[in-house]
Amino acid sequence: GDSVTQMEGPVTLSEEAFLTINCTYTATGYPSLFWYVQYPGEGLQLLLKATKADDKGSNKGFEATYRKETTSFHLEKGSVQVSDSAVYFCALSDQRWGKSTFGDGTTLTVKP
Amino acid sequence: GAVVSQHPSWVICKSGTSVKIECRSLDFQATTMFWYRQFPKQSLMLMATSNEGSKATYEQGVEKDKFLINHASLTLSTLTVTSAHPEDSSFYICSARGDKLDTEAFFGQGTRLTVV
């Protein structure tokens, strides 16, 4: 079945540091890929998405590129802020059936 | 954009009682809805998939008699946790998808259930 493997956390960075959270996937067919962010006690917020190979999703300074050859969708941000502290989930969605498979989540803490 | 609303956002109930959680698509018709469960500091696990007008399909290990799912209309699905126990305490999140292929599913804000 489909699976998503995320870089283990937690990740602690200083403000303005560069962020990378690795994500690789296994899927049949051609899934859509997503990054979600979850703040403490809240639901999921879609951060960015890509629906086909070589697409780049971007939002709020975060970027991720759908790499079919390496089955990866790594999340990057050039300069993190304290307000970016949250749990980040990489996920794929089966385009035919719509159900989502999530990675284990990576907790990011950004210190001033 | 597509909005999915979940209600309530949090609920506390006594052991042995039942709790109903609603998931509504506000601005589109959701032919398929998904229910996920998230334990503290863990990822989301799919519990079941429901299609409007038909029985839900449960993932392996999920008790269908305990987690009753109803998807009676194109904008509403409900999850009822029957005879709740403290181990059912969790964060439950729904997502909804329209009827076109290649469309993404949109997530509700989640419901935190605490059984005391």
- Over the stretch B12-27, which tens digit does the pLDDT of each residue have? 999 999 999 999 999 8
Residue B58 has pLDDT above 80, yes or no: yes
Q: Which residue is listed with tokens 């229910």?
A: B35
Burial of B33 (0-12, 13-18, 19+ CB in 10 A): buried
| Beta pairing, strands A106-111 & A11-14 | parallel
Q: Cβ–Cβ of A41/B6 closer than 8 Å?
A: no
φ/ψ bin of A78: left (φ > 0), alpha (ψ from -120 to 50), beta (otherwise): alpha
Angle at B106 between CA B105 and CA B109, to 5 degrees: 140
- Give the rounded percent of residues in chain B with a pLDDT score beyond 90: 71
Q: Is the dihedral of CA A27, A30, A31, A34 positive or negative?
A: positive
B47 and chain A in contact, CB less than 8 A: no
At B72, is the pLDDT very low, low, confident or very high (cuts 50, 70, 90)? confident
Q: Cβ–Cβ of A43/B46 closer than 8 Å?
A: no
A101 and chain B in contact, CB less than 8 A: yes
Q: Which residue is listed with tokens 């303005």?
A: A16
